[in-house]
Amino acid sequence: MNQLIEAVELLLTPETWTGATGMGARLLQHLQYTGLAVALAALIALPIGLAVGHSGVGRGPAVMITGVVRALPTLGLITLVALFAGLGLTAPMVALVILAVPSILAGAYSGVGSVDAPVVDAASAQGMSTWQVLWKVEVPLGLPIIIGGLRLAVLQVVATATLAAYVGSGGLGAPLFLGLRTYDYPLLLAASLVVIVLAITLEVVFALVQRVLRRALRGTS
C-alpha cells in the first residue's frame, strides 16, 4: 500500500514528467507506437475486411485466421522477430500489428455484413456501382461496428505496447521495466497507472465516437 502511495506521489511530482526520459516523453512515445501499430494494422485489415464483408467470399478463412492469430503469444512473437530484426522498434511493431489485425478485420467484415440485405440489393438495383454500394451504403451503415473493431485493437495495443521496452524501445514500458529491474516498485506502479489511465481515456473517447455515430444513423431501426 505504501508503494502505491509513493507511486501516486511520484506521479504528482512535476519532475517525473519532464526530460527526455520523463513520463511525459514516454507517454508520447507510447501513443505514437499505438497509433503507428493500429494505423499499419488498419491498412492491412480494413481493405481485406471490407472486401470479405461486401462479397461474402473468404468469410470462413477470415474467421479462422482471426482466431488463430489471436492465439499467438505476443511476448514470444516479439522475441522471435527480435532474433531476426535485432533490438529496436521493428520487433514490437510487427507483434503489435499482428495483435491489432484480427480485431480490425473482424470489425470490418462484421460491420459490412451487418447491413440489411434488402437495403444493399435496393442500392444496387437503383444503379449504384459496387464501389458506390460499398462507400455510400455498407461502410456508413456498418461504421459503428467497424469503429468497434478499431476500439478493441487500440485497447489491446495500448496495453501491450509496454512490451516494446522489453527489446530496448521506449514507451511507458521503459520506466515499467526499469522499475522492475531496479526493484523500484513505486516507479513500476506509477508507469502501470499511467498505462491504465491512458487505456481508460482512449476507451471513453471511442465509446463517445461510437455513440455519436449511432445517433447520426438513428434512422437505422
Partner 1 sequence: MIEFRHVAKTYPDGTTAVEDFSLTVPSHTATVLLGSSGCGKTTLLRMVNRMVDPSSGQVLIDDEDLASVPPVALRRRIGYVMQNSGLLPHRRVIDNIATVPRLNGVSKREAHSRAHELMELVGLDAALASRYPGQLSGGQQQRVGVARGLASDPNILLMDEPFGAVDPLVRMELQRELRRIQTEVEKTIMFVTHDIDEALALGDQIVVLKTGGEVAQVGTAQEIVEAPADDFVAQFLGVDSGRRSLQTVPRPGGGHTVVDGGGRPVGVLEDPPEGSSEPRG
209 half-sphere exposure, CB direction, 13 A CA radius? 15
Site for partner 1 in 153-182 (CB under 8 A): none
Whether residue 108 contacts residue 46, with contact meaning beta carbons closer than 8 Å, is answered with yes
**Could you say which DSSP state residue 127 is in?**
T
Per-residue x/- mask for partner 1, residues 139 to 158, rule CB under 8 A? -xx-----------------
Closer CB to partner 1, residue 201 or residue 220?
A: 220
Name, in order, each residue with C-beta under 8 angstroms of 62's C-beta and a sequence gap of 6 or more: 48, 49, 52, 105, 109
Range 183-214 burial, b when 16+ CB lie within 10 A, else e: ebebbbbbbbbbbeebbeebeeebeeebeebe
Question: Least distance to partner 1 from the beta carbon of 115, Å?
Answer: 9
Question: Least distance to partner 1 from the beta carbon of 137, Å?
Answer: 6
Closer CB to partner 1, residue 119 or residue 196?
A: 119
Taking CB under 8 A as the binding criterion, the range among 70-78, 99-107, 131-139, 188-196 that sits at the site for partner 1 is 131-139
Closer CB to partner 1, residue 14 or residue 219?
A: 219
Helices within 56-184 (DSSP H only): 59-70, 74-85, 90-113, 117-125, 130-132, 139-160, 173-181
Size of the site for partner 1 (CB under 8 A): 23
Selected from 21, 55, 129, 182, the binder of partner 1 by CB under 8 A is 129
Site for partner 1 in 77-106 (CB under 8 A): none
Neighbours of 76 (CB within 10 A): 10
Question: Least distance to partner 1 from the beta carbon of 205, Å?
Answer: 23
Site for partner 1 in 107-126 (CB under 8 A): 116, 118-119, 121-126
Whether residue 142 contacts residue 177, with contact meaning beta carbons closer than 8 Å, is answered with no
Taking CB under 8 A as the binding criterion, the range among 53-61, 77-85, 88-96, 129-137 that sits at the site for partner 1 is 129-137
Selected from 40, 65, 128, 178, the binder of partner 1 by CB under 8 A is 128
Grid coordinates 480490425 are at which residue? 104
Residues that bind partner 1 (CB under 8 A): 116, 118-119, 121-129, 132, 136-137, 140-141, 216-221
